[in-house]
């Protein structure tokens, strides 16, 4: 059986009297790309904060590599890219990547950074500029480069395609597929479900704080009788809402 990288058991999260997540259980296995699908406000960000050890769930347990999220053992092989990625404005692109690698005690290779930039169609000349001059898409590409080059076995990506044009999205998907071939595990959220359908081995539907489906994108489409993952997702939550 594949190694269990991330495990959530009966996790519930609330903010005062407001329940954000209810009794969520998930398993993410080594080497798979796992997608978490949900509308805004479904509870995705709250779950990610708990996985990262940035807050504690009200009940249930979370383990990363079998350890609590806040432990050093859990963090050392985990890299995270937030949806609203804002690198320090005073750094150049190259300085940011160097800083990211130093945090994970990874060797810095300027030529490897340039090669990664070229793979994502980020002009290598931009790496010499301060990131305050970057567009949203350029910052997103830089964040992905820094995240991937850490070499972490587990990458948590929150809306990694945000701000990217179709060509850049295709290049990012190619890069993530290569990471998976290296045996790395990817846990991501995205509102672009055509991308999730293309690269995810399994997905989970989170709606109104609860998991309503876990399985392959193909199985989600099969349960609704629809060939489009976005339509299948919408129908699955409409049925839950109606019930």
Half-sphere exposure of 145 (CA within 13 A, CB side): 33
Q: What is the pLDDT of residue 209?
A: 92
Q: What is the pLDDT of residue 240?
A: 59
Mode of pairing for the β-strands spanning 210-215 and 202-207: antiparallel
Q: What is the pLDDT of residue 100?
A: 95
Q: What is the pLDDT of residue 71?
A: 79
The structure tokens listed for 222 are 């099969």
170 CB-near residues (< 8 Å, 6+ apart): none
Q: How far is CA 58 from CA 24, 35, 211, in A?
A: 12, 24, 17
The alpha-helical segments, DSSP class H, found in the chain are: 44-51, 72-75, 93-103, 110-119, 136-148, 166-181, 193-199, 217-224, 229-242
- State which residues of the chain have pLDDT below 70: 1, 239-243
Q: What is the pLDDT of residue 241?
A: 54
Half-sphere exposure of 117 (CA within 13 A, CB side): 20
- φ/ψ of residue 16, rounded to 5: 65, -125
- φ/ψ of residue 229, rounded to 5: -65, -40
The whole-model pTM stands at 0.93
DSSP state of 92: B
Q: What is the pLDDT of residue 19?
A: 86
Q: What is the pLDDT of residue 72?
A: 76
CA pair distance 116, 175, nearest whole angstrom: 9
CA pair distance 182, 187, nearest whole angstrom: 15
């Amino acid at each position: 059986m594949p190694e269990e990288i991330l495990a959530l058991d009966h996790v519930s999260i609330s903010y005062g009297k407001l329940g954000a997540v209810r009794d969520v259980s998930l398993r993410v296995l080594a080497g798979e790309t796992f997608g978490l699908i949900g509308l805004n406000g479904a509870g995705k960000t709250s779950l990610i904060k708990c996985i990262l050890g940035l807050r504690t769930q009200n009940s249930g347990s979370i383990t990363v590599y079998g350890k609590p999220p806040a432990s050093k053992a859990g963090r050392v092989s985990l890299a995270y890219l937030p949806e609203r990625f804002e690198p320090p404005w005073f750094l150049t692109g190259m300085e940011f990547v160097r800083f990211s690698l130093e945090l994970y005690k990874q060797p810095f290779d300027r030529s490897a950074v340039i090669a990664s930039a070229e793979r994502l169609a980020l002009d290598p000349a931009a790496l010499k500029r301060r990131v305050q001059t970057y567009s949203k898409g350029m910052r997103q590409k830089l964040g992905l480069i820094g995240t991937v080059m850490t070499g972490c076995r587990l990458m948590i990506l929150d809306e990694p395609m945000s701000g990217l044009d179709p060509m850049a999205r295709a290049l990012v998907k190619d890069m993530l597929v290569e990471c998976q071939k290296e045996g790395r595990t990817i846990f991501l959220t995205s509102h672009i479900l055509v991308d999730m359908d293309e690269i995810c081995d399994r997905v989970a539907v989170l709606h109104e704080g609860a998991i309503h489906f876990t399985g392959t994108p193909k199985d989600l489409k099969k349960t609704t009788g629809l060939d489009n993952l976005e339509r299948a997702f919408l129908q699955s939550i409409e049925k839950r809402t109606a019930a």
